[in-house]
């Protein structure tokens, strides 16, 4: 009996460690991730729950030339948009990830996160050039060797985005358990008009997000950034 208890305690510690140590990594090494490892991670993630087992996720894995070519295309578009803001109409997100009008406490947390990261990187509030370059790191997958794109068939309802969140979290936790790190990226959504033709997605597919995956760079100070979390009692109502 003691051995059984010890096994479950050890298993719980491993799972909890993978969840609590997962964070968005913004600097990766060039170390490649074998395809069989990616295949395994996606198989594990596919056990995520979904309403009536619809399994609405569709994944595109970019490595090598496919990754490099997409990076070049979107970085060029990002630079072009900065030079001519009038191009914004060409780059629309396919769904509202963020609210149209922000309110507290969400805007406060967003600002805390943004300025905490920029402060670590030495980027001041008025330094538009450095801000632009840091934002563009998203479109380079933060140098990760693997880029992932996730799409959803438009026939599905909003509930499928809930299913998708569980799938993405499962993938990120499974990766962490294998010594890999990730960064989920909504930043790609505005460039869906470039991303989807590049990956061969149909017009019926909506880009949900991208993700960088690889081995974290231990020497890059950006990976020391740790986001805070509010206390449980701040978001929980206990009903007896």
Q: How far apart are CA 170 and CA 174, in angstroms?
A: 6
**Residue 106 has what pLDDT?**
97
Distance between terminal CA atoms of the chain?
34
- Six-digit token pair at 180? 């890999």
**Residue 211 has what pLDDT?**
98
Is the distance from CB of 190 to CB of 136 less than 8 angstroms?
Answer: no
**Residue 47 has what pLDDT?**
98
Q: How far apart are CA 109 and CA 117, in angstroms?
A: 12
pLDDT along the chain (240 residues), means of 10: 58 91 97 98 98 98 98 98 93 93 96 94 92 96 98 97 98 97 98 98 98 97 94 96
Q: Where are the domains of the chain?
A: 24-96+139-224
**Residue 99 has what pLDDT?**
95
Sheet of 205-214, strands arranged across: 58-62, 146-153, 205-214, 181-185
pTM: 0.94
Which residue is listed with tokens 């072009």? 80
Q: At 59, which helix (H) or strand (E)?
A: strand 58-62
Q: Three-class SS of residue 9?
A: helix
**Residue 126 has what pLDDT?**
86
Nearest to 56 by CA among 186, 227, 204: 204
Q: How far apart are CA 39 and CA 17, in angstroms?
A: 23
User: Which CATH topology does 24-96+139-224 take?
Assistant: NADH Oxidase (3.40.109)
């Amino acid at each position: 009996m003691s051995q059984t208890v010890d096994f479950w305690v050890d298993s719980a510690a491993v799972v909890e460690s993978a969840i609590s140590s997962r964070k968005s990594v913004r600097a990766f090494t060039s170390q490649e991730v074998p395809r069989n490892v990616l295949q395994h991670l996606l198989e594990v993630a596919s056990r995520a729950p979904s309403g009536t087992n619809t399994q609405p996720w569709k994944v595109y894995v970019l490595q090598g030339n496919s990754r490099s070519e997409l990076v070049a295309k979107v970085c060029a578009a990002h630079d072009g948009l900065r030079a001519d803001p009038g191009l914004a109409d060409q780059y629309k997100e396919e769904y509202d990830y963020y609210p149209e009008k922000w309110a507290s406490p969400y805007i406060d947390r967003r600002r805390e996160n943004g300025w905490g990261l920029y402060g670590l990187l030495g980027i001041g509030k008025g330094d538009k050039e450095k801000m632009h370059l840091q934002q563009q790191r998203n479109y380079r997958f933060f140098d990760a060797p693997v880029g992932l794109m996730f799409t959803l068939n438009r026939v599905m309802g909003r509930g499928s985005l809930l299913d998708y969140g569980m799938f993405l979290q499962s993938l990120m936790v499974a990766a962490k358990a294998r010594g890999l790190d990730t960064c989920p990226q909504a930043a790609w959504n505005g460039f869906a008009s470039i991303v989807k033709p590049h990956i061969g997605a149909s017009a019926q597919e909506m880009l949900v997000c991208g993700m960088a995956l690889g081995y974290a760079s231990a020497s890059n100070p950006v990976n020391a950034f740790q986001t805070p979390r509010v206390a449980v009692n701040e978001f929980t109502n206990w009903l007896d």
